[in-house]
Structure 1
Amino acid sequence: MARLVVLIFLITTSIMPWTRAQSNDQVTWYKRVESGKEVITTLQFYFHDILSGRNPSAIRIAQPSQTNPSSTLFGMLMMIDDPLTVGPDPSSKIVGRARGMYGSCWPD
């Protein structure tokens, strides 16, 4: 589980969010702080992994037949195109998309 969390973190931190904000819109999902030569940008967005319904954003692409009935989902691979939103509500403003894949492994 820890490796899955690290993998999801790496995927989400490597994504370049595209804003759809107009120049007169107030953007509140990031904060930029400049102190001397160092610039710190803090991004806050919500990652929505939708696994079911009419338009799932994550789809299982592979899983070993030996672990298919297992509750651990060891070896499962998912392909994702998840929305990143300003708030925790999935219908809030989309500021980017998380695209890629992730897998499940057994904890050491």
Structure 2
Amino acid sequence: MRREWEPEELIAAWTLLDSDWELVGNKTGATRLGFGLLLKFFEQEGRFPRHAGEVPREPVDYMAGQVKVEAALFSEYRWSGSTIEYHRAQVREALGFRESNPGG
């Protein structure tokens, strides 16, 4: 993931669309911000970030403005556990991906 973004590129890549809002709308706080960033990161990279440090600061600030959550709350988003697993499943389903089954 690149670290620097021109304003037009930031808007094109990180703006939540109508269908995205259906997924983000029922979440609050750090969860709302983290989910929005997971969704847009996955759209661009075809994978999820492994940790918060993989998501550049400019997109975090931009997304925070869209979802009306303080950017600093991104540090509270949990990178393990049932919430992020559920978020990943929601993103994959929304984008038409499914997890591979290496054993079968």
TM range (shorter): under 0.3
Tell me the TM-score normalised to structure 1 length: 0.24
Tell me the TM-score normalised to structure 2 length: 0.24
Higher helix proportion, which one? 2
